[in-house]
Structure formats: structure tokens, C-alpha cells
Amino acid sequence: MKKLLLLFIAATTLQANAQQHPAPFQKGDRVVFVGNSITDGGHYHSYIWLYYMTRFPDRRITCLNAGIGGDVIGQINDRFEDDVLSKKPTVLTLTWGMNDTGYFEWYRSDGKDTMQKRIQRSYNNYGIVEDKLKKRSDIKKIFIGGSPYDGTAKFNDKNIFPGKTQAMSEVVTFQEQAAKKNNWPFVDFYHPMMAINQREQQQDSTFSLTPGDRIHPDNDGHMVMAYLFLKAQGLVGQPVATMHIDAGTKQVKQAANCKISTVTGTTDGVSFGYLAQSLPYPLDTVIRGWGNKRKQSDAMKEVPFMKEFNQEVLQVSGLKAGRYDLLMDGEKVGTYDAGQLNTGINLAENPRTPEYQQAIQISELNEERWEIERRLRMYAWMEFNVLREKGMLFKDNNAAMDTVNAYAATNIFIGGNRDNFSRARYKALREAWQQEMNVLTDKIYEINKPQLHKITIASAR
């Protein structure tokens, strides 16, 4: 009995010390991503939602941006009720630390002591947020160890802050321990992204996932973050579809996450109906966002997303040797030899397929939604980082506009947001923007249902 008791205690202790992983989002979830400018102006949450839009077309969820540029955890605490909980999350992700670990303060003669006090203040403010989270058992919490500051890339000599890398590492450790203490899931962006930087910089000293300012990830960096999040949710290996047809016997050897119907043909070619239950993940090949240098698709050089998350495999065995055209709905989308088809080809790599073209439409609609949401986040920045401390939170009157105008000439951030605020301060316009986003999201979930396609493998001419 004593031995059994000791084994039970050991197993319980091991389970308590193990880091919990976040569960996949479920139908109806409202996922609110809370953070600073990396969340505010970034794409990782939009890329995550795009995965769910295409991979789980009937599992409708809502992802909401609750990042504000420049925020430390104390400021997140100040807006927690009005800006975060007001969005009615069923799931809440929290990341912070980039601004808490300072910038030019590290150059001061007392920089190290100053930053130690500042970081300790952040820990204290986090404690207030933690207490608020503990009271909300109805909300699932996910902590994110944020993307790293890159002080080693050689693309320029700007924004190199001694001590910041170590401070960020310590904050991420604190976050992981805080999540573990409360048995809340933790997703680590920091260490995997640091490892990618270090690996790539061995070949190219100018490489960085944050090539603009060492702080903000580029489009590829945000796709890496989405990859890490989805991987933490245990979604690796879920195929878009997997199909294996034997042309000689006209038998369906495998049909995973899809339905195959009406197989006809011979060893000279084969034809069949194909209805997938998912769509391929469309990768953006356009550089988006002011100051960015890379595309979302560039992340494929940095993480094995295609292998682990984007497999739509067509395998056709039993064909005679030779070259074959692949037609979908009568349109040629590629040419392959019998050996390639026998091994299997990944249709998710082919942007000419009708299902990939369908997925691109979803991606573009999602980008439109993201652009509109950015206007609302810029409005939130003005409210919480400028007007709140002046007693004008949500006043949105002429006095508030006068205050913004007064500071715009000397503060580039206020100046850059002034025009947006001049429109967003009107409730009717904000409501119209929200309605636009609702229409776009409705359209996405209307057109994201896979369609029946006819696949034909015919001898190439």
C-alpha cells in the first residue's frame, strides 16, 4: 500500500509539473488575442484563423485582436475590462514583455538597476491580471511566450540594446512558470524563433525574423508564430486529404478526410469524383504591411509547415510508364510522370487547383477583415494610451479631437493615428466597420465549403 501511495504521488507530481498544451478551438469559440504591437499590427492570429477557416469549414470560430502598440502588462491591466473582457472571450491568449523589458534605458549608467525595478513592477502588475483571470473560470486561458528581440543579426547597427535579450528570456521564463502554476496552457514562441534566427545566421549573418527593427516580426515571422501555435494545439498531421487510387483495378486504396466516387479508366489513365472535407492552406506571396520585407510564404523556408500541416496527397498507382496530365473539372493543372503519381503528389503545393483558388478567395476576404480591424485597434490605441489619462476615455467629442490635434504635431504616433481617430470617434462609423467585418466573415463561412471536383489523369499530349 505504501509503495502504491508513493507511485501515485510521483505520478501526480509529474502531471502537475508537465506543461499543459492548449486544446484546439471548438465551434463557437470567441478567441481574444491580448498583447502589444506585435499582436496589434501583426498577422499571427489572422493566419491561425485562416487555418481554421480552411481546415475546419464547419467549425466556425471568431478570432479578435486585443493588442495595443506600446503596451506593457500594466497598461493591459488598465484596459482589461473595457477592451478585453468586453469582447466576451471564451478563450483568451495573453502575451507581453517586449515593451516591459525596455529599449534605450539599457544605455543609462543605472540602466540595469532601472530595468530590474521596471521588470519587477511588471511582475507585480501581472499579478493583478492573474487575479482577474482566476475569477473567470468561464474563459480558457493560453499564455504565449512572445517573439524574441534579435540583437545579433548584422543587417544594421540600430536598436541594439544590451541586456534586453536576457531580460526577455527571464520574462518568458516567468510567464511559463505563471502558466504552469495555474495549470494554464503555455505556447512558446520565444525559444523556437530564437533557434531559427541562430540557425539561419550561421549561413547569413543578416537574417532575422524581425528584419525591420529587431522587434516586430515580418510576415514570415508571424507565419512561424502561427505554425508554433497550431503545433502546440496538437494539429500536426491532420491532412487536407489523402487519396490513393489503383488505376489498374479502379480500386480506392485510401480516402482520408475526403470521398472518392465513380472511378473509371485503365492503366492508361483514370478519372474519379473527389470531395474533400477541407481546403488547402493558401500562402500569401505578397509583401503586406508598411515596412515589411518578406512574404507569408517565405516562412516555408524556416519551418516544415507544408509537411506537417498542408498535405493534400494524390497517389495513383498502376499506371503505365509515361507522362500524364492532371485535369480538374476539365482544366489542366499540371503534368507528372507515372513515378511521381505512384509516390504521391501534394496538391496543396499547386495554386492552380480549383480548391486552392477557392482557398485564395478566403484568404483575401480574411485580409480585408484584418485591414478593417486594424482601424478599430488604432482607435483603441488612441483611447487607452492618450485619452484615458486625460479623463476623456470614450468621450469622442470635440474636446477629445482638440486634444489629439494638440499633441499630433509633436508626437509622431498620435500624428500617425489622428486621421483614423477623426473618423473612428463616430460610433456610427465604428458600427459600420464592424458590420463590414461581419459580412466578410459570413461570406468566408459561406464559400469555404469544399466542392465536388472531377479529377482526370490522362496521357500527356
- pLDDT bracket for residue 2 (50, 70, 90): very low
Q: What percent of the chain has pLDDT over 90?
A: 94
Q: Are 171 and 122 in contact (CB under 8 A)?
A: yes
- The sheet with strand 269-276 has its strands ordered as 258-266, 269-276, 453-459, 323-328, 331-337
Mean pLDDT, to the nearest integer, of 8-36? 75
Per-residue pLDDT, 18? 60
Average pLDDT of the chain, as a whole number: 95
Nearest Cα to Cα of residue 401 among 427, 382, 429: 382
> How many alpha carbons fall within 13 Å on the CB side of residue 301?
14
The band of 8, judged by pLDDT with boundaries at 50, 70 and 90, is: very low
Tell whether 76 and 111 lie within a shared domain.
yes
Per-residue cell: 20: 499543459
Q: Quote the pTM value.
A: 0.95
Is pLDDT above 50 for 194? yes
Show which of 232, 257, 285 is a domain's final residue: 232
Q: Do residues 276 and 349 share a domain?
A: yes
Residue range 11-33: mean pLDDT, rounded: 77
Under a CB-based contact definition with an 8 Å cutoff, are residues 238 and 223 in contact? no
CATH number of residue 155's parent domain: 3.40.50.1110
pLDDT(435) > 90: yes
Task: Express each pLDDT in 407-432 by its tens digit.
Answer: 999 999 999 999 999 999 999 999 99
**Do 117 and 209 share a structural domain?**
yes
Q: Are residues 171 and 198 in the same domain?
A: yes
pLDDT tens-place string over residues 154-192: 999 999 999 999 999 999 999 999 999 999 999 999 999
Q: Over range 117-127, report the average pLDDT.
A: 97
Give the residue carrying C-alpha cell 529587431: 214
| Spatial CA neighbour of 153 closest among 102, 218, 237 | 218
**What is the model's pLDDT at position 82?**
97
Long-range contacts from 359-362, C-beta under 8 angstroms, 24+ separation: 359/54, 359/279, 359/280, 359/281, 359/282, 360/282, 361/447, 362/50, 362/53, 362/54, 362/279, 362/282, 362/444, 362/447, 362/448
Which residues have a Cβ under 8 Å from the Cβ of 157 and sit 6 or more positions away?
A: none
Phi/psi zone of residue 68: left (φ > 0), alpha (ψ -120 to 50 degrees), beta? beta
Mean pLDDT of 57-86: 98
Structure-block grid coordinates of residue 57:
469549414
* pLDDT band, residue 289 (cuts 50/70/90): confident
Tell me, yes or no, whether 258 and 392 share the same domain.
no
Dihedral sign for Cα atoms in the order 112, 96, 85, 390: positive
Residue 357: how many other CB atoms lie within 10 Å: 14
Beta bridge partners, 118, equal none
What per-residue confidence (pLDDT) applies to 461?
77
User: What pLDDT was estimated at residue 32?
Assistant: 98
Compute how many other C-beta atoms are within 10 angstroms of the C-beta atom of residue 390: 12
How far are the Cα atoms of 22, 134, 430 from residue 38, in angstroms, in the given order?
A: 21, 25, 23
Query: Strand, coil or helix: what is 219?
Result: helix
> 367 and 351 share a domain?
no
- Give the model's pLDDT for residue 267: 87
Give me the number of domains the chain comprises: 3
Residues 143 and 175 in one domain: yes
Residues 231-244, mean pLDDT to the nearest whole number: 98
Residue 295 carries which DSSP code?
-
To 5 degrees, how large is the angle CA 365–CA 65–CA 392? 125
Judge contact between 140 and 92, C-beta under 8 A.
yes
Neighbours of 161 (CB within 10 A): 20
**Domain closes at, from 232, 251, 268:** 232
Sign of CA pseudo-dihedral 18, 22, 24, 25: positive
pLDDT score recorded for residue 276:
97
200 lies in the same domain as 293: no
Domain boundary among 209, 232, 255: 232
Average pLDDT over residues 83-101: 98
In this predicted structure, the answer to whether residue 4 has a pLDDT above a threshold of 70 is no
Do 25 and 137 have their domain in common? yes
100 shares a domain with 6? yes
Residues 219 and 326 placed together within one structural domain of the fold: no
Residues 288 and 366 in one domain: no
Q: Could you read off the pLDDT of 346-401 as tens digits, one per residue?
A: 999 999 999 999 999 999 999 999 999 999 999 999 999 999 999 999 999 999 99
Rg of the chain in Å (alpha carbons): 25
Q: What is the residue range of 340's domain?
A: 241-297+306-356+450-459
Residues 6+ apart with CB under 8 A from 412: none
